[in-house]
A and B are shown apart, each in its own frame.
Chain A
Amino acid sequence: MSKTFEKLAPWLFVVVLFAVWEAACRLLAVPTVILPAPSVIFGAFQRFWGPIVSNSFVTLWTTMAGFGLSVAFGLFLGLVVGWSRAIYRGFYPVMIGFNSIPKVAVVPILVMWFGIGEVPAILTAFLISFFPIVVNVATGLATIEPEMEDVLRALGASKLDVMRKVGIPRSMPYFFGSLKVAITLAFVGTVVSETVAANSGIGFLMSQAGANFQMPLVFAGLIALAFEGIIMYAATAWLEQRMTGWAFRSQGSAAN
């Protein structure tokens, strides 16, 4: 009973939330321009199904493109930074400094360079999301147990051998763990950029609808975003489980 309840609880919670929302809107007669009731939002979904789907698709692929770039670049930079302790120490403050710039502030610059459209969105997604990947991969490499390294070096292993046999496999749980964070950030980056400077994407759709006081459509966009965000997060979480099961299992699994 409690197991099935635990599984159903999130769904139940969503249903209750929407029911309360609907009831509140009706009972208090909240104007649609302030807060549309779920039924009204659902109507907007039906009416604007075509544009919502096509714009969701744009947001999805720009996010994935930015995320892909940040995975490739983050992995590469993480390996470089984690390679030696000297690079790690020297580079870390620079990275922190870079990361503390609010990336949203960079969007206008990107628009100046690349014009309005998907490119600034992809680049914003990339800039905002590669940092956690770099830090995680580098940390995984830089924290190899010194004794393990001694064992291998006394066998004549090169630095590359140590990295291939120990460093890289060891940093994989850190890497896959950071993907969950990175995908969420990339999504934020894309939507922010779309809201400011794009002519497609859910962010653009929502800002247009807002300008026209089409509140139900704004909320429909919001729900589409939530849906996309959850899907992408779940996909990376699943990937993490699949790829680095040993890291979870090795940390005490008496229960299973």
Chain B
Amino acid sequence: MIKLDQVSLAYAGRTGPVLALDGTSLSVGTGEFAAVVGPSGCGKSTLMKLVTGLIKPTSGTVSVDGAQVSGPVKIAGMAFQNANLLPWRTVTDNILLPLEIVEPYRGQFRAKKDEYRARVENLLSIVGLQGFGDRFPWELSGGMQQRASLCRSLIHEPKLLMLDEPFAALDAFTREELWCVLRDVWQRLNFTVILVTHDLREAVFLADTIHVMSARPGRIIDTRKVDFARPRELDVCYEPAFTDLVHVLRNKIAEVRKA
């Protein structure tokens, strides 16, 4: 589904070019849940922008779905650490936003609005926000906003979901609750996910594969398969194999931070 081949990216920084990624290669299969971990500033967000075609690589190639990426991919749902909901729209209207952009929904938006609203209501109940559709974002807590943001990234049933530290600003309980929400939605709809996170337990709990990046300029230095049986319950986090893997990843990142 996603293939990065020897991708480098240099930003035109204020004091000369900043090399964010250098010779990064990565591949993610269709329907795979991939996580990317690495020290801060190593180019994880940059990687996300490359995959979605928001920026072009300085060298190397990025391809999604067999086609080389040369502009925004148009199929991706995205969610970030900040929920980024529009304050003048209700929660429902915020979640409907992608349908106003993406074809074929866009052309039918007026005609099928009721059907789409029902879809939003359904998603809201999956993430535990039923009945909040008519509220405005500022009437919601941070965790609730993040749930709404997740709904927005899923409403058009994207083939590719890009998550950049989506749960980083939440408390531990809400975070674990949303892990399960994400796990369930993913298992039902089976899209491809790339999740950037600093939380190693999150990566191990959710992902099929974990890619570890080096310090800037970023490269993938290690790829680990996670083969705990699915569906995974939160209990898996307390198994020795789980904690061992978290420790291995932790040491890796500590290593590259020093280097």
Q: Which residues in A have some Cβ–Cβ distance to B below 8 Å?
A: 145, 147-148, 150-157, 161, 165-166, 169-170, 246-247, 249-250
Contacts and interface: CB of A to CB of B under 8 A. Distances in A.
Contact of B72 (A145, A147, A156, A169): A156
Contact of B74 (A155, A169, A247, A250): A155
Contacts of A156: 72-75, 101-103
**Binding site of B, secondary structure by majority: helix, strand, loop or mixed?**
loop
Interface of B: 49, 52-54, 72-80, 82, 84, 86-88, 97-98, 100-103, 136-138, 152-153, 156, 162
A155 B136 contact: no
Contacts of B152: 151
A158 to B, nearest CB: 9
B149 to A, nearest CB: 9
A250 B156 contact: no
Contact of A154 (B52, B82, B86, B103): B52
B108 to A, nearest CB: 16
Contact of A155 (B49, B87, B138, B156): B156
Contacts of B52: 150, 153-154
Nearest to B153: A151
Top 10 nearest A-B pairs by Cβ distance?
Answer: A156-B74, A250-B138, A250-B87, A154-B52, A154-B76, A246-B88, A155-B101, A157-B101, A153-B72, A148-B84
Contacts of B84: 145, 147-148, 151
Contacts of B102: 155-156
B54 A147 contact: no
Contacts of A148: 84, 86
A80 to B, nearest CB: 23
15 contacts: A147-B82, A150-B49, A150-B52, A150-B78, A151-B84, A154-B53, A154-B54, A154-B76, A154-B78, A156-B72, A156-B75, A166-B86, A246-B136, A247-B87, A250-B87
Given A147-B80, A156-B101, A169 B156 contact: no
Given A249-B138, A250-B138, A153 B87 contact: no
A150 B77 CA distance: 10
Contacts of B103: 156
Nearest to B149: A151
B47 to A, nearest CB: 13
**Binding site of A, secondary structure by majority: helix, strand, loop or mixed?**
helix
Contacts of A145: 82, 84
A147 B162 CA distance: 12
Contacts of B72: 153-157
A164 to B, nearest CB: 9
A240 to B, nearest CB: 14
Which of A152, A154, A166, A170 has the largest count of B CB atoms less than 10 A from its CB? A154
B136 A249 contact: yes
Which of B72, B101, B152 has the largest count of A CB atoms less than 10 A from its CB? B101
A160 to B, nearest CB: 11
Given A152-B101, A165-B101, 8 more contacts: A154-B52, A154-B53, A154-B162, A155-B101, A156-B75, A157-B72, A165-B97, A170-B88
A150 B54 contact: yes
A77 B77 CA distance: 33
B54 A153 contact: yes
B66 to A, nearest CB: 18
A161 B101 contact: yes
B30 to A, nearest CB: 18
Nearest to B51: A154
Contacts of A152: 97, 101
Contacts of B49: 150
Nearest to A172: B88
A237 B152 CA distance: 35
A52 B60 CA distance: 76
Contacts of B74: 154-156
Contacts of B78: 150-151, 154
A155 B88 contact: no
B106 to A, nearest CB: 9
A157 B101 CA distance: 6
A170 B89 CA distance: 11
A182 B80 CA distance: 38
A150 B98 CA distance: 12
A157 B97 CA distance: 11
Nearest to B81: A147
Which of A153, A155, A156 has the largest count of B CB atoms less than 10 A from its CB? A155
A29 B53 CA distance: 81
Contacts of A147: 80, 82, 84
